[in-house]
Chain A
Amino acid sequence: MAIRRGRGVAAINYPTGMNLGGDPTQALVHSTPTGNFMVTLSSVDLGQGMKQIMAQICAETIGVPTDRVVIDTADTDTGPHCMGTFASRGTHRAGNAVIQAAKEARQVMLEVAAEELEVNASDLETDGQGNIQVKGAPQRSISIFDVALSAHFKRGRSISGRGMFLIPRSYPEKETGAMKPSTCYAHACTVAEVEVDDETGEVTVLTVKNVFEIGRALNPKMVEQQLVGGSWMGISHALYETTEPYYPSRDHAGTDFNQYLMPGPGDLAETEIIVLERPSADGPFGAKGPGEMCANPQIPAVANAVFDAVGVRIDTLPITPERILRALKAQAAS
């Protein structure tokens, strides 16, 4: 009886969004009379930072500071249509819709500014600070505040735009069954080191080293936050969490946090995160969806590390001490 060490590796591809019956998300952008921009969405921020990212995308496209953009995700009954926040699709789908809507709004904004400055709209540019100026002659400029006032009270124009991003439905080919479940994939690789007590079946994860390829990181600190939390969650799924420990039997199913196990702050493995940025072809500014992907590779990596440590393959999650001991017993018997 001993503590045995093992190391496991796993790599994954993870689709950004999924092939529903076509996968659309819609966004609407309009300016207030004072030149702030409202983005209306039905995509929901669950804490992953959707609002911040959408504000950055809209601000970058229109050419204003991020704090001039307000994101309204209030009501899925009255907002523009979105399939929802799931499958790591939010940044990719809603981001593309916001870009399209913001481009249209920017065009109207420039047209109003052109009338005010008596120049051609194609000769104008934004300075990113809230002003519009003539290319090559920045002293000829007008604030976006004044442009919005003019649009609203003088020229009767709505500085607004509509955006729709659709991944069309992919049908399987009749002959081969081949289809395109997603247009965009994120990738990850994890190496996990564990200790397994072959007497108690208990697994301790010592280190997890993760490399994530996530397209362009639109907000690097928030990406890191997702990845750190996701790496922990992957370990939690590998070793602890389940609502159905004896599936399909409901016996001993957890009904509250006393029974539904999650690792606490005292159970953390030493965690390393490395981000690779390979901009995607069809993502907003090259982004992919890192959200769910980042909690996946730890699971097979831990399973492989357990195999490396004690020579048993556990193929049912979570990898509990009971499952390990049963497998060790079966191994000894054969």
Chain B
Amino acid sequence: MKYERKTFPGGTHIIDYKGFTNSLETVAAEAPARAYIPMSMHIGAPSRPLVEIGEEVKMGQKVAESQGFVSVPAHASVSGKVVAIHRMPIPNGRMVDTVVIENDFRDEWLTPPRALPKSDVEAMDGAAIQAKVLAAGVVGMGGATFPSHVKYVTPQDGKKVEIIILNGIECEPFLTADHRLMLEQPEKIIAGLKYLLRMMNCQRGVIAIEENKMDAFELMIKLTENEPQIETVVCMEKYPQGSEKQLINAITGREVPPGGLPIEVGVLVNNVATAAAIADAVEWERPLIDRIVTLNGNAIKKPMNFRVRIGTLYEDLIAQSGGVIGETVKIISGGPMMGFAVYSTAIPVMKGTSGILVFNEESHVLKRETEGPCVRCARCVDACPMRLEPTTLMKAAKKSDWARAKEYDITSCMECGSCSYVCPSLIPLVQYIRLAKQYVMSKDGNGAVNPFLM
């Protein structure tokens, strides 16, 4: 069958390296001997520990309470005893208070997840669904980790959600976690979307999938055949197709104003994994305690898709996959375009961890040549999905010309990395732009960084 491929202007083609893992069934990773539950797995205020050292906890028990509105609770991913609460690094390098639970390997649930009676689920209204989502600690699982329930507050000033988009694009190279989820648990994703629609009193849901995942697309098409409210669309394989703003543009033709939220154009975007977590929360009252993580990179002996308990250390996962080849020199949390390089392997998998990429010295990902002069080839301009002029921004940054940087809309840069990726002179454009952006934003307002731009 022929389908219309949707896309946005700009962007660039990236070798996707997904072939290693996209056909590998998800494997349940062993539960860790110790689970490390960070108090800050989301954007917003950190949660507050509810347990004390020495306390016995059950699986699914709330170990941290949300503080404030833009915050979520966290739950124990194993049963056992709290042995420590201390600060430790999370993938983005920050130190965060973390509850450490020693696993008794009994996997005793506080309340074993059970399917709620169908009639109960049917009877739930938007507010009830929203409460369930908050209680389960669901956050955006595409990496932004924005607390899900916050997105769903009834929009003010008459703004209505007209379209809910489920993001199944997964445009970062190497990652296949969402792809596997769509193949293995498509019904859950669709159910999650239906709860979202009900919660937002919205009539139109769209599941967007990139064309390098046609198997998932065709499966979704089949499963949504009799769902009048849900439409499945295929998007062109292009980076960053999965970025919220670009996806909205590809599907609706609308553009979110600078600094604004999708709701301003009547759209809400959620990751497919988030939708599945929502279905778990609503139908089973199951908190978010595990997720799929892709383990890949040239140093990994056996690339895998793992279903991992939150709080499992990276090193445990790497060891389980069969270890590494050669000397490990770089580890990336997330994808190679927007992920974080981490400095230790003693870092826990969090709700937003979609992949762990391990590289040895042979990897070309690591090759770092010296930057050359800008040859004004405009490849960065053509690639920028925000239609900025990265070369101009970079030059303004180099000259500390903040006024110029602002004039050329530096704050609209979402640090997607497309410009650096294509630059034939190997100029680290994003690094320059990031610096200038921080400067412009700190001078601009109150010094706080707008989380919606991150």
Real complex partners, A and B? no
Show the binding face of A for B, using Cβ within 8 Å. Answer: none
